[in-house]
Amino acid sequence: MADPIGKFIRVIAKYPGNILAKTRITPNQITFIGFVVNCGVAYFIARGNLSYLAIGILIWAAGFFDALDGSVARLTGKTSIFGIFWDSVLDRYSDSVIYLGILIHFLELGKTNYVILTVIAIIGSLAVSYTRAKAESLDTECEAGLMPRSVRIIVLGAGFCVGQVFWALVIIAFLSHLTVVQRILHVYRKLNK
């Protein structure tokens, strides 16, 4: 099952992608800029000096770069194997740095349960991405599951926007690990046909 939310975001990304495609900026540069923006968002989360609403919007904005680089790559014909690899690696760093910011923020507040939950969410998020990457290295398509990266970004941003970060982390933690199980079963069925 393809990621419908990710597909919708990629459609939206075509419009700014068209503008960027007319400049000299490369898809790989956009990927790197997206990572830097995520580092900035993580810094603001860790500092705790912005409202949760502002943080939620910034998480969505930073996450949008993941669709933007791909859009520019397709529009300019600059898709490459290295670009796919580069994007995948920096996506993992982008995910991790955001959770690191959350971890620091809740450590500062002394909220141990939030810290533990954040670690569980980080593990699940990285495992979701790894299962897909490993499956694809075995020539097996693997987009199954309820919690791909686009959904995690939307849920986390929404959690901040409405001031329910704990419940956003609960959803991400639970559904990420469920998605790993779904992907394992999906790959098992594919490889045993």
Domain architecture of the chain: domains with CATH: 4-191 (1.20.120.1760)
Name the burial class of residue 110, with classes exposed (0-12), middle (13-18) and buried (19+) by CB atoms within 10 angstroms of its CB.
exposed
pLDDT digits (tens, 9 = 90+) for 72-131: 888 888 888 898 899 899 999 999 999 999 999 999 999 999 999 999 999 999 999 999
52-76 and 4-21 helices, crossing angle to 10°: 70
The percent of residues in the chain predicted with pLDDT above 70, rounded, is 99
Q: Which residue has the higher pLDDT, 163 or 137?
A: 163
> C-alpha 35: how far from its chain's center?
11
Which residue's entry shows tokens 């000299």?
24
Residue 2 pLDDT: 57
Confidence of residue 176 (pLDDT cuts 50, 70, 90): very high
Q: Which residue has the higher pLDDT, 13 or 54?
A: 54
Q: What is the mean pLDDT of residues 129-137?
A: 89
Q: Which helix (H) or strand (E) holds 51?
A: none
Amino acid in the structure at residue 112: T
Which residues touch 86 (CB under 8 Å, ≥6 apart)? 28, 31
Q: Whole-prediction pTM value? A: 0.89
Amino acid in the structure at residue 182: Q
Residue 15 pLDDT: 72
